[in-house]
Amino acid sequence: MVSLKLFHDYPDSSAAYAEFEKQHVLERVKALDAKARRKGLAELDPGRNPLIALGMEVNGEGKVTKNSYGVFHLSWMAEQRAEWPAEVERQVSEIRKGIREAHGVPLQFVIWAGMGGSAEDKSAYQACGLLRKGPRLYVLDSTDPAKLKAILEDMQRRSKLGLREALKRTLVVGMAMGMTSYEPVVNLTKICGLFEKHNVGSKTNFIYMTLPGSLLEQFAGPRGYRKVEVQLDGGNSTAGRHSSPLTCGSLYPLALAGVDPREWMAGTFLTEEEIGDAFRLASFLHMQGTAGRDKVTLMLPKAWSGVEVWTKQDFEESLGKSEELGLKVVVGERVKLANYRSPKEACQDRVFLAVARKGDADGAAEKAALLRRAGYPVAVVNFPPQTVLSRYMQFIHHVVFGMGYLRKMNFVTQPSVELYKAITSRVAAEGKDAGGLEKTSLWREVRGGPKQAKFPGGITLYYNQVPVEPAPEAKTAPEIYASLCRQLMAGNSVSYAELTFFGDLRYSANGRAVRKVMDQAAERLFRGCWKMPVDVYEGPAMNHSYHEMVIGHGGAFSTVMIAEKGERIPEVDYTADYHRAQFLATQAALAERGRAVVALVLKDCGEETRKALDGFFREALRFAKR
């Protein structure tokens, strides 16, 4: 049984929680969802039931176009559909068999092409060790050719085979939970081209999961690729980030790795008492947020540490829409009191969420006790020993919904993500017509003008889209960078930061080395010096994961980075053009909403440039300390 303890619960959250019981929220959600599935969306009136505006999509004419409460009803249905686990195993076995019959080889690799919610859970499962016993899975959540190139090289290295033979052993999955997600199509087009170049039949090796009529279906359907229904009930009632833990996009990689789907599904069957605890936690976090403590610092047990970005995405993409009231989930930090402002300071903006599994000796309880004694607001959620990860995920979904309910906020839409995608499409088309991105108006806006400064070693800072000027004493690029951030902090325009690199940080050696430099800068400059939370991640996956908070609520000092010299895969004419368009579009989307963003353009990702980047941040730190 899940249990919850709250410490320093001021302002008191009990009144907020009482609304869930008083309004019978859980019972009403179940009744509304059942009506939507039984009678259809046309029978629903958003004006008569406020829960429709919270968990469904409604068009400009006031008509319900999608019920997104599938995040809950898939679990409720799974309790009644005992045949579902066997059906998942049957479908996965059929895919394995198809590859073996077509090519006479076993399944050895999976390339999962998707963005945001279509990808983050796979990264989480892999990081938590759940996919260890299955085929090697690669998450292809970028249009940077460097990522696909590194994946293909790793496949050949592990199999000790040429690319043609490695492709035969590969399942390629395209997943898009949005109508306009173009990135999976870009990657699938190139991978399909590789199969054709090497004369390998691809029909048994490609599957896709998407909404009817989406860009992905327009690509995959005419090619005869196998379509897998997103949900076992045949519906499309989940938002992308809610596709885990119970859509086929979540169940397939687990089943391929031998995870028991019966145990996994059963893990999501929360009791009413556990859902009540989720609503209590939602009430606590909501009230802390209203008091200005909106930086939820997450502490997970070691076995679940890999799910922190997934958790961050679930909260921020769902609840980041409001200018007035936001919620930042802080991950990737060591508990370090020296990096936090004192609980006695009015500007202290942290609340801590500690998650523990009884029997796990990883110090979570001790860290929570330390923070509690220091006077910080702390919530501790205890799960029973050996709890399946799916239970945690379903619990978090209920917390997110609970906060959406209290804030009267739709927890399934993502308008800011759509803004960035629309700008990307526009600038990519303009670049194609003009003969290159360098000839587009957005390129001139971002990369032109006097607001730029070079740093020795191949680093250039562009700050055309920051609403303040650097201090007169700031002369070098690192000093200008530090000065801009410091002034924005002083004016209360920013309270956290992001360092986002547009390129592969996971599979290529150079990318992993760049990530190390970014992590060190995050710790020394932002956390240590400015006592500011900072996100370190990879673009454009970040745009689809938690950029809703960065664009929607704001408050971030955004540093977006890219290497001028990009990778190519000449064999299928895969260049970084679309990826670079996303880099530009990210800055444009942020600037359009008045958010502070600067760009760092690196000559390349080589060792000398990485040393220069490290030097840039070290000099910025020295200036900041002055």
> Residue 366's pLDDT is what?
84
Q: Tell me the per-residue pLDDT of 109-132, one tens digit each, with 9 for 90 and over.
A: 999 999 988 999 999 999 999 999
Q: Is the pLDDT of residue 463 over 80?
A: yes
In total, the chain counts a number of residues equal to 626
Q: Tell me the per-residue pLDDT of 478-513, one tens digit each, with 9 for 90 and over.
A: 999 999 999 999 988 999 999 999 999 999 999 999
Using CA atoms, how far residue 342 sits from 350, 371, 438, 556, 573, in Å, is: 10, 11, 48, 21, 55
Stretch 212-220: mean pLDDT: 92
Rounded (10°) angle between helices 25-39 and 14-22: 40
CATH number of 3-16+271-406: 3.40.50.10490
Stretch 283-287: mean pLDDT: 98
> Residue 245's pLDDT is what?
97
> Residue 362's pLDDT is what?
74
Is 415-625 the same fold as 3-16+271-406? yes
The mean of the pLDDT values for the chain is: 94
Q: Nearest Cα to 279, choosing from 27, 68, 33?
A: 27
* Residue-wise DSSP of 12-58: --HHHHHHHHHTTHHHHHHHHHHHHHHH-GGG--TTT-HHHHHHEEE
Stretch 40-65: mean pLDDT: 92
Q: Is the pLDDT of residue 104 over 90?
A: yes
Q: Which CATH class is domain 82-266?
A: alpha beta
Q: Tell me the per-residue pLDDT of 418-457, one tens digit each, with 9 for 90 and over.
A: 888 889 989 999 988 888 888 898 888 888 888 999 999 9
Q: Is the pLDDT of residue 323 over 90?
A: no
Q: Tell me the per-residue pLDDT of 178-197, one tens digit each, with 9 for 90 and over.
A: 777 888 999 999 999 999 99
CATH number of 415-625: 3.40.50
Looking at this protein, which amino acid is placed at residue 304? W
* Residue-wise DSSP of 177-222: SSTT--HHHHHHHHHHHHHHHTT---TTTEEEEE-TT-HHHHHHGG
Q: Nearest Cα to 13, choosing from 384, 392, 351?
A: 351
Q: Is the pLDDT of residue 352 over 90?
A: yes
Distance CA 596, CA 481 (A): 12
Confidence class for position 41, pLDDT limits 50, 70, 90 = very high
> Residue 365's pLDDT is what?
79
With H, G, I as helix, E, B as strand and everything else as coil, classify residue 526. helix
Q: Is the pLDDT of residue 543 over 90?
A: no
Token representation of residue 61:
């004419």
Confidence class for position 590, pLDDT limits 50, 70, 90 = very high
Q: Is the pLDDT of residue 539 over 80?
A: yes
> Residue 179's pLDDT is what?
79
Dihedrals phi, psi of 513, to nearest 5 degrees: -70, -35
Residue ranges of domains in the chain: 3-16+271-406, 82-266, 415-625
505-540 in b/e burial notation, b at 16+ Cβ within 10 A? Answer: bbbbebbebbbebbeebbbebbbbbbbbbbbbbbbb
Q: Structure pTM?
A: 0.95
470-503 in b/e burial notation, b at 16+ Cβ within 10 A? Answer: beeebebbbbbbbbbbbbbbeeebbbbbbbbbbb
Per cent of the chain over pLDDT 70 is: 100
Q: Tell me the per-residue pLDDT of 242-265, one tens digit each, with 9 for 90 and over.
A: 999 999 999 999 999 999 999 999
Stretch 143-150: mean pLDDT: 96
Confidence class for position 358, pLDDT limits 50, 70, 90 = confident
Stretch 209-236: mean pLDDT: 93
